[in-house]
Amino acid sequence: MASLTIRKLDDAIKAELRLRAAQHGRSVEDEVRNILREAAGAGAISGGTPFRTATYPDRSTSSQNAGNLRATLIIGGGIAAYKALDLIRRLKDNGFAVRCVLTNAAQQFVTALAASALSNQRCYTDLFDSASEFDAGHIRLARDCDLIVVAPATADLMAKMAQGHADDLATAILLATDRPVLLAPAMNPLMWANAATRRNVAQLQRDGIKMIGPNSGTMAEAGEAGVGRMSEPLEIAARALEVVRPPSAGPLMGKRILITAGPTHEPIDPVRYIANRSSGKQGFAIAAAAREAGAEVTLVTGPVGLNDPAGVTVKRVESARDMLSEVEAALPADVAIFAAAVADWRVANRGEQKIKKTASGFPQLDLVENPDILATIAHRTERRPPLVIGFAAETEHLLDNARSKLARKGCDWIVANDVSPATGIMGGDRNTVHLISKDDGATDGVRVDSWPAMGKDEVATHLVAQIAAALQKGAS
């Protein structure tokens, strides 16, 4: 019988064998033995490690049932690539078979070996790979899946996508696909804020590309923080499932809901601002509950340290005026809920440079009133959402103030809560609210429902249930 030495095989085959051996936890020799036995119909090596390659459902058997889903995961070259390894596991937990593609830059951060070991699938790196391109492998990777996830999606990769480049395997797949694409951007906050990235993001959104994040937080670069952190693997995996299996039922199915949340930051100069203690938790919880109920949700939030709720379109803004423009841009909506603690005033004479201490006294800050977003939308004659809900955070005379706010702001409901420091509501996880609504049957035209103290998530679920009931009633 002819003798065969692995050393004599060509390099591409050796590399492939090493990869498969690592994937299956065998020596290269055992891997070769196994391949030969399989070819001869003998099955797995007796007494050896069982053949562990996960099956990758083919197109004919794949349906969008959990457990039979297929994702191509493109790992871009950024420090967040290490989180993409955890994402493989999370996607698998959500029922996806995962095939990984690593860009050249990604291989500086994670190895193909790690990606293939975790996915139990061969990992792809090269557009001109003789082992897969003989049958147009990039087309298979682009189409033989239910979804393509790009994580981390770097500024460079997004720029190439926006322009339609296809000069490596990842971009060729992205150009050749007819499947939904979900990007999880990750980059330095200045890169994310750069005008070129903003243009590319807007283009990709127009092209129907879905995005999750980025979140705000600290960066790998020492001392840097801001918007640019990749969403957590759990969030990305949840969103991936949602993209392939959108919620099919729920009382708010087909309704568009707009929510504001968090504080606003009103600049004093380039480094200082006026803000308040709002955490955004209540508004985010309402957004998540509305999405859960099947609504299409847009959340416009001031600066907060919270992650995007799955399936919600999140617009992150700084100032009241930015918040108003994003709110206007999100109309029309069936319901608008204004949970943001918008700063009442902004500085009229903000410094273009950092204001310095002088011996001659204190700087004079002139304040001007911010637009009232709730009142602006509630008083619109065109495209006024049929149900407009405001919040009243008060430290005294809660119900009286809330009733007069209902009339003054022109909204339909007010969710009133006492935010005196003793209640711990501002920044806390619990809330005690009163729902105040216009009611022609009541003696003073107003109905007050006082809810017991509950978690902000429960307040959100209750509010969403009331909204669904009101829309149902309005429709009947």
The answer to whether the beta carbons of residues 125 and 101 sit under 8 Å apart is: yes
Q: Measured from the CB atom, is 187 or 339 closer to ligand C5P?
A: 339
Residue of 99, 105, 115, 100 lying closest to 168 (CA atoms): 105
Kind plus residue range of the DSSP H or E element containing 148: strand 147-153
Work out the angle at residue 167's Cα, subtended by the Cα atoms of residues 162 and 173, and round it to the nearest 5 degrees.
Answer: 70
Please report, as a single letter, which amino acid is at residue 238. Answer: A
Residue of 384, 468, 397 lying closest to 434 (CA atoms): 397
Least separation in angstroms between CB 366 and ligand C5P: 18
The answer to whether the beta carbons of residues 322 and 329 sit under 8 Å apart is: no
Q: Measured from the CB atom, is 229 or 405 closer to ligand C5P?
A: 405
Least separation in angstroms between CB 378 and ligand C5P: 9
Least separation in angstroms between CB 255 and ligand C5P: 20
Q: Measured from the CB atom, is 57 or 390 closer to ligand C5P?
A: 390
Q: Measured from the CB atom, is 121 or 370 closer to ligand C5P?
A: 370
Q: Measured from the CB atom, is 289 or 373 closer to ligand C5P?
A: 373
Least separation in angstroms between CB 430 and ligand C5P: 19
Least separation in angstroms between CB 467 and ligand C5P: 15
Burial of 30 (0-12, 13-18, 19+ CB in 10 A): middle
Q: Measured from the CB atom, is 198 or 383 closer to ligand C5P?
A: 383
The CA R_g of the chain, rounded to the nearest whole Å, is 27
Q: Measured from the CB atom, is 92 or 456 closer to ligand C5P?
A: 456
Least separation in angstroms between CB 301 and ligand C5P: 12
Which residue is listed with tokens 């809560």?
417
Q: Which residues contact 100 (CB under 8 A, 6 or more apart)?
A: 72, 73, 74, 75, 88, 112, 115, 116, 119, 121, 123, 124
Least separation in angstroms between CB 404 and ligand C5P: 10
Least separation in angstroms between CB 449 and ligand C5P: 17
Q: Measured from the CB atom, is 403 or 405 closer to ligand C5P?
A: 405
Report the 10 Å Cβ neighbour count for 298.
Answer: 22
Burial of 354 (0-12, 13-18, 19+ CB in 10 A): exposed
Secondary structure, 3-state, 90-127: HHHHCCEEEEEEECCCHHHCCCHHHHHHHHCCCCECCC
Active site residues: 276
CA 408 to mean position of chain CA atoms: 36
Size (the chain), residues:
476
Work out the angle at residue 25's Cα, subtended by the Cα atoms of residues 24 and 27, and round it to the nearest 5 degrees.
Answer: 105
First to last CA, the chain: 83
- Which residue ranges make up the site for ligand C5P (CB under 6 A)? 260, 320, 338, 340, 342, 344, 370, 372-374, 390-392, 405
Least separation in angstroms between CB 400 and ligand C5P: 13
Angle between helices 112-119 and 81-93 (to 10 degrees): 10
The answer to whether the beta carbons of residues 101 and 72 sit under 8 Å apart is: yes
Q: Measured from the CB atom, is 34 or 278 closer to ligand C5P?
A: 278
Q: DSSP code of 412?
A: S
Residue of 459, 462, 389 lying closest to 429 (CA atoms): 459
Task: Determine the 3-state secondary structure of 387 from DSSP.
Answer: strand
The answer to whether the beta carbons of residues 430 and 454 sit under 8 Å apart is: yes
